[in-house]
Amino acid sequence: MGERELGRRASVGGAPAGAVLAQLDFAGEVWHWRGPAPFYFVTVPEEESEVVHEVRHLVTYGWGMVPLEARIGRTTWTTSLFPKDGLYVLPLKDAVRRSEEIDQGDVIDVSVVLRERR
């Protein structure tokens, strides 16, 4: 996947349990964390991280983790963002990376939906 423009869109709303609180669309570069359990991530940009921070208390299950539904290309899955260096990071499962042919250094388009905790 080559470089893509880093365009973004965010919307925030409130409402009943399970309701959509925010839908965020952004692009970011895939990076690899080489810890004891290596994993690939995309950092949520500052503007979108601020939106996540505003609604986190309505969705988090603790430790700053923010559950959501993510979509890249035609692949949709559930996961959680977690805080890192004042922003949030989105982990990319191997199955998602394989399905969408994503490698380290690729700039990818991401869409996430945060829903109010039930």
One digit per residue, the tens of pLDDT, for the chain of length 118 reads 433 333 344 444 444 458 899 999 999 999 999 877 779 999 999 999 999 999 999 998 888 899 999 999 999 999 999 999 999 999 999 999 999 999 999 999 999 999 988 7
Q: Residue 7's pLDDT is what?
A: 39
Kindly list the distances between the CA atom of residue 17 and the CA atoms of 20, 43, 46, 114, 117, in Å, as whole numbers in the listed order: 9, 27, 27, 12, 6
The ranges assigned to domains in the chain are 67-78+92-105
Pairing type for strands 87-92 and 9-12 reads: unpaired
What are the CA-CA distances from residue 79 to residues 1, 7, 35, 60, 72 (Å)? Answer: 22, 23, 19, 12, 13
